[in-house]
Structure 1
Amino acid sequence: MYQPHDLEQSHSPPEKRPITEVQAGTSEPFKRAKVEFEEPEKKIHSTEHEEEPSDPPESADTKQGKRDAAGWPKSRQGKAKDTKNKGRRRGTRDPGAQGKEDEDQGPKTPRLPKKQSALLIGFCGTGCNGMQIQPDVRTIEGVLFDALVRAGAVSKDNADDPVKVSLGRAARTDAGVHAAGNLVSMKLITAIPGVEDFVARINEELPPEIRVWGSVRVQNSFNARMSCDSRKYTYFFPTYLLIPPKPGTAFQRVHEQYAESMQGVDPLDASAHPFWSVTDSHSSSSTDDLMRKRSWRISAEQIEVIRQTAKKFEGTHNFHNFTVGREFGDRSNQRHMWKLEISDPAVYGDTEWISILFHGQSFMLHQVRKMMSALVLSCRTGTPSQVIDELYGPRMVMVPKMPALGLLLEYPIFDSYNRKVASLNEKLEPSHAEYRPEINFEQYRDSIDAFKQTFIYDNMRAIEDRDGVFDAWVRSIDTYGGNDLLYLNPKGIIPAAAVIKKGEKRDNPFKEKRRFDLTSFPDKQGTPTVEDEEEAERTLNKSCLEDMEG
């Protein structure tokens, strides 16, 4: 029978026996072997994890007997090899050939101290499979880490595994998404022999679409994700997305029929809208429509409607309908949006654009793109802003994602950390070893703005001008004739026909196109390199979803 004291006994450290104590009948050779085992272990110098000393030296009592906190001998002899972190980037060195390499290379390179550092970076995400390192694909962190190895900021001993240098990030971005500012933290060799400008040396090893703005020495306990207070994202889109659905499309017919069944409301008459009241506009081709859409200009009244609807997102809400894989009762759905700012429209080339700045504590997977979709679709269909409140409720519905092309991470914010180090720095000179600078992206504003213009804005507008990505997205909405989007109605209430029930199959569900997750389209004809397939529903565990937040 289980007794509590049994557990205590099983975890108690073994009693220390005199070295000469031997059980009856023990032979002399065994006695000598035991004496050898009890000898203090020899100090082994590691070549992989050295960093600047930060902890006080051990006391004499701790060193005596060379035992750990549980009382067990600290020798590593006979212990199994550590097999944690199986997802590491391994395989750059051949363990079998290590001994031969050591003989050929002679004495090892002197070990250099590492310091916990934060790199402030910016990048154009085109051509990369997201921010986080993944095996066998090009990612922002993968390119950056390889550049750090070549520059000497990461030793060759640690070059095969970013986990060894505690790589972390403030915000994770999806494939193709851009960032004017992001932050990665890790233990780096910042005093590289022969290198006067640390940041410039790293940038020499990076492609021009990935830049390091600066490097900051941070506290050893710094965690890029947990130390971040909030993030800022911007979403850009052409104003023609706010033109009502084309008369005669499946979406327009279904929603007009549903609105007619509701009492006390007038259905949206899309044919009366100035854009669709032009002769032959109902039978025009999508190419002709797009040419006219580019010359369309939004009214001041429509801008005001967007601004008032966007205020519904501010504050703390349950955003379970604005991500994937989350149940209504999951407390992690509660997110706080500090502010949404809608810019005045501006014309670039032939097209008018609007940008919306999202400042939030944190964002779940696809959250900004789904918030944008709810905002744009409700405004273009005349749906009251009340629908946003409905989407915070327990009923689950399908909210499409806006194209990834318009999304930009501006930068993460570290106000709490900055206040903490500012307090600690009051009595320290900047040259002091314990002095820690604040994390501030604004000091690199000129360089960031120039980078955004060349590598992000110009690229985004050129792709839209060539391929009409946003027009293709809104036409994919208008060709849908099912019930999933019936919450876009004159009352702004979610009907039962639009509710998604877990495990229940729906007739004619809305199918998202993977092509709208892309930000680059190599085919000159505008045909994406990824087939237009339904985005398969993924069952993601909570840990995976948390790792995908930004």
Structure 2
Amino acid sequence: MMSEEGSGNMLIKPLKRVEEGNGESGENGHIRKKLKSVEPTGNERKHPKRKVVLLLAYSGKGYYGMQRNAGSSQFKTIEDELVTALIKSGCIPDNHGDDMKKMSFQRCARTDKGVSAAGQVVSLKLWMIEDVMEKINSNLPPQIRVLGLKRVTGGFNSKNSCDARTYSYMLPTVAFSPKDYYTNNSAAFRLEPETLQRVNQLFGSYKGTHNFHNFTSQKAARDPSARRYITEMSCGEPFVRGGAEFAEITVRGQSFMMHQIRKMIGLVIAVVKGYSGDEVLKRSWGEEKVDVPKAPGLGLVLEKVHFDRYNKRFGGDGLHECLEWTEEEQAILAFKEEHIYPSIVETECKEGSMASWMATLPIHDFEATATGAQDKDREQDDEEGNRSDSAL
């Protein structure tokens, strides 16, 4: 018995030395290495990693949209700027910049070339450093700003958790002038109340669920994903900026396909100007191909994204915040006044994109079935928050 105890004591000592890290091989040596591999380093040791959402506002002028284009550094996007700022601020690891999936990154809407946003939301995991928003903004250009940050549940996905999106479209009211109006004097045009009422009657026709296969490209008439649900669409009262009269169209829907909003607006403009009758709207929701014109991309702004279901489930649980941005409203408005509205007005007054586009309306045949017009319309220039699943 004494011999066995002595032998046992001798066995204990080398096992203990191995566990303490003398480098010997064996089962406990493997355990030691495994424990070392999960030891936090750098910012992980100093700061907790949390799942958050960032409220973004940006002017899209000069950028090739929101989403990064892997391997296309010459086409700078909003996400390129954001990811660079996150790395420089110490919010994410350097080696995660090329693969943001490691940070569970997801954007709510995929705005494309030239499109601005006042209420874009992205979700991701961040190291919660001190003064995190201020440090991120210090590494961003002035036309891109993080205006809000909130904690969310670990499984939150900004795209899949979004119930609806609201866009605005700012345009010169000369777009609703008669087709024989002399557009070289567009700054002098003023919209009559009767015309505005007719515009809103036509926009009101879009409310509800319709088949919008004619309002995008590469969608078959019987594709279920072409059915989209619109809850609101109207044009506000005109206002004067830069000597010209403008108006703002607001549209809210569960989701939008590529070019859908611009084509919805383009078709109403064509009807108001007298290129087609009102019946073309209902015909465009049918199975036949209809040649629907696409309004210019300038003026399209992602205003807000909505998370009603998430807020109902988690907003009052005492642990998470509602994804509403009431406290940030003044900052959002100030950003729009400084960066978004001036860019739209100055570009329109200087380049006349709406007048140039209106000159192309006579080439559209609104009475005949379109022959390949939709298939030719594939350029990726201004895409409205695209979701692959169908609307309710």
Fold match (TM-score > 0.5):
yes
Say whether the 8 Å CA contact 1:234–1:408 is kept in structure 2: yes
Q: Secondary structure at the match of 1:424?
A: coil
- 2:126 matches 1:188: yes
TM-score by length of 1: 0.60
Partner of 2:68: 133
Query: Which amino acid in structure 2 is aligned with residue 200 of structure 1?
Result: E
Aligned to 1:468: 352
The answer (yes or no) to whether the contact 2:56–2:144 under 8 Å persists in 1 is yes
Kindly indicate whether the alpha-carbon contact (under 8 Å) linking 2:255 and 2:387 is maintained by their aligned counterparts in 1.
Answer: no
Task: Please point out which of 318, 330, 344 is paired with 1:446.
Answer: 330
Cα distance in 1 between the residues matched to 2:43 and 2:205: 59
Structure 1 CA distance, aligned partners of 2:316 and 2:387? 35
Please name the residue that 2:304 is paired with.
411
In 2 relative to 1, CA 45–437 (structure 1 residues): closer, same or farther, beyond 3 Å? farther
Q: For 1:127-206, what aligned pairs fall within 5 Å after superposition?
A: 127-135=62-70, 136=73, 137-190=75-128, 192=129, 195=130, 197-206=131-140
- Tell me: CA distance 1:203–1:386, structure 2 relative to 1, closer, same or farther (3 Å): same
User: Aligned in 2, Cα 1:331/1:307: closer, same or farther, shift over 3 Å?
Assistant: same
Structure 2 match to 1:217? 151
Q: Which amino acid aligns with 1:158?
A: H
Structure 1 residues 326 and 44: CA distance shift in structure 2, 3 A:
farther
Contiguous gaps of at least 5 residues in structure 2: 1-25
1:353 and 1:470 map into 2 onto residues whose CA distance is 11
2:365 counterpart of 1:486: yes
Change in Cα spacing, 1:437 to 1:380, as seen in structure 2 (3 Å) is: same
Partner of 1:500: 371
Partner-residue secondary structure (3-state), 2:320? coil
* Aligned AA (2:102): K
Alpha-carbon distance in 2 for matches of 1:133, 1:511: 25
- Partner residue, 1:123: 58
Q: Which whole-Å CA distance do the structure 2 matches of 1:113 and 1:461 have between them?
A: 44
Q: How does 1:338-417 map to 2 (within 5 A)?
A: 338-381=231-274, 383-417=276-310
Change (3 A) 1:460 1:108: closer
Q: Which moved more, 1:290-299 or 1:448-457?
A: 290-299
Residue identity matched to 1:150: K
Matched-pair contact (CA < 8 Å) for 1:321–1:396? yes
Paired position in structure 2 for 1:324: 217
Cα displacement (A) at 1:320: 0.8
- 1:271 corresponds to which residue? none
The AA in structure 2 aligned to 1:448 is I
Q: Which has the larger radius of gyration?
A: 1
Please report how far the alpha carbon of residue 215 of structure 1 lies from its aligned counterpart in structure 2 after TM superposition.
Answer: 0.8
Identity %: 34
Question: TM-score scaled to structure 2, two decimals?
Answer: 0.84
Distance 2:220 2:258 in 1: 14
The residue aligned with 2:34 is 43
- What are the ranges of 5 or more consecutive residues in structure 1 without an aligned counterpart? 1-35, 51-106, 247-274, 276-288, 426-434, 488-494, 519-543
Residues of 1 paired with 2:344 and 2:202: CA distance?
A: 26
SS of residue in 1 equivalent to 2:326: helix
Q: Does the 8 Å contact 1:405/1:517 carry over to 2?
A: no
1:404 counterpart SS class: coil
Q: Contact 1:395 / 1:500 at 8 angstroms: preserved in 2?
A: no
The Cα shift of 1:43 comes to 2.3
Matching of residue 233 in structure 1 with residue 171 in structure 2: no
Q: 1:33-112 residue pairs with structure 2 within 5 A? A: 43=34, 111=45, 112=47
CA 1:292–1:159: 2 relative to 1, 3 Å: closer
1:513: how far off?
A: 11
Q: CA RMSD in A?
A: 2.9
Aligned-partner SS, 1:126: coil
Higher relative contact order (CA 8 A, sep 6+): 2
Deviation at 1:166, TM superposition (A): 1.2
Counterparts of 2:171 and 2:43 in 1: how far apart (Å)? 52
In structure 2, what is the Cα distance between the partners aligned to 1:40 and 1:149?
Answer: 34
Listed one character per residue, the Cα deviations across residues 399-420 of structure 1 (whole Å, up to 9, x for unaligned) are: 1211111111101011111111
User: Partner residue of 2:4?
Assistant: none
Q: Structure 1 residues 512, 165: CA separation in 2 closer, same or farther (over 3 Å shift)?
A: closer
Write the distance in 2 (CA, Å) between the matches of 1:424 and 1:387: 49
Higher share in strand = 2
In the alignment, is the contact (CA less than 8 A) between 1:347 and 1:353 conserved in 2?
yes
Instruction: Describe the SS at the equivalent of 1:313.
Output: coil
Distance 1:395 1:411 in 2: 33
3-state secondary structure, aligned to 2:388:
helix
User: How far has the Cα of 1:108 moved from its partner?
Assistant: 6.1
- Cα–Cα, structure 1 residues 423 and 382, in superposed 2: closer, same or farther, change >3 Å? same
Which amino acid in structure 1 is aligned with residue 112 of structure 2? Answer: D
